[in-house]
Amino acid sequence: MPSLSLPDYLLPHLNQHSTQPIISQRFGKGDYLYKPGDEAPFIYLIETGIVKIGSFGASGERIIYDILQPGETFGNLHYLDEDGVEFFEFAQAATSVDLFAIDYSFFRHQIENDPVIARWFHKVVIRRWCKAETRLLQRAGESVEDRLRQLQQAYSSPVSDADRKQHQILNLLSHQEIADLIGTTRQTASKKLKGRPLP
């Protein structure tokens, strides 16, 4: 990807479409960008702020499985739909967020026809895979204390929201959400956090 941002790189392609395929949006803290079952026609690129990604368990409980920061993307490209797999995810703003919403059909076309965008997208996907696989490995082979320590290290840098306020990511999460991310119960996470306070 050139030094230009993704939206700036895509600008020359916009006049080929009758509708505006990229729009800027702002969401307030706690707002849902989408929930399972919603029509989700966009791929999102975070400019500022933090977004929680999760789903719902068999009993309807919320489960958080990722925290996204500026520069990361998320959304439904509808590839799984073609195989009959339901996209059952929610995205919720953990802070105020500014982001770019990109029409998914436009974005898919660019991925499939522009090698620069394709390489950029492959890197983004591989980073997410790597993060997910690392967490799975940690759950299988490391103690809760080690998983908590690694989570604190991964999210140690402050992040600015859309209102230019700085946040420590883990301070925005409940003990249940931290438990979700490290694969333990809320009670265990709370107990371990007493001896290892958040920054």
Tens-place pLDDT, residues 87-123:
889 999 999 999 999 988 888 888 889 898 888 888 8
The size of the chain, in residues, is: 199
Q: For residue 167, what pLDDT is reported?
A: 96
Domain boundaries, the chain: 6-195
6-195: CATH number = 2.60.120.10
**pTM of the entire predicted model:** 0.86
| CB-based contacts of 31, cutoff 8 Å, min separation 6 | 92, 93
Taking the C-alpha atoms of residue 173 and residue 196, their distance in angstroms, rounded to an integer, is: 15
Q: For residue 69, what pLDDT is reported?
A: 94
Of 68, 88, 75, 66, the closest CA to residue 22 belongs to 75
Q: For residue 106, what pLDDT is reported?
A: 87
Taking the C-alpha atoms of residue 191 and residue 103, their distance in angstroms, rounded to an integer, is: 44
Of 99, 199, 94, the closest CA to residue 156 belongs to 199
Distances (CA, A) of 35 to 6, 41, 67, 80: 25, 12, 16, 17
Which segments of the chain have a pLDDT < 50? 2
